[in-house]
Amino acid sequence: MSKVQIMIEKRTQQRQEQKDPQNAKNLIQTQNKLQQSRLKCSDLEQQISDKDIQLQETTITAMKTINEASQNYIDMQLKINQLAKELKEQQELNKQQQKLLLRAKNMDHILKYVDNKQI
């Protein structure tokens, strides 16, 4: 407000006080309450803003945690898949080894049989 407006309001207020002192008193009380309400509103807006910032920070932290957990899960799945592949390969090698051992035993029996026949 300009100085002129403030002066006009003061003079108007003074005239009102002279005409109706009770009404002027009520007006001043109302203006004071209005000012207090504005201050409370401003405080509440600041609190809301602060809480909003905290919420955003918490959300960012949660998203980072979720992303890390997701990446860890993916890494573990890849490791599990790799281990499963290695296990399957090892099982296949074990089967082949068993077959070779069985052949070797059969060959051994055949050789003993042949040796016994030659004697």
How far, in Å, CA of 7 to CA of 25, rounded? Answer: 19
Residue 74 structure tokens:
């993916």
Which residues are CB-neighbours of 116 under 8 A, at least 6 positions away?
none
How far, in Å, CA of 117 to CA of 111, rounded? Answer: 10
This prediction has a pTM of: 0.54
The pLDDT profile of the chain, 119 residues, written as one tens digit per residue, is 677 877 887 788 777 667 777 776 787 888 889 889 989 999 999 999 999 999 999 999 999 999 999 999 999 999 999 999 999 999 999 999 999 999 999 998 888 888 888 76
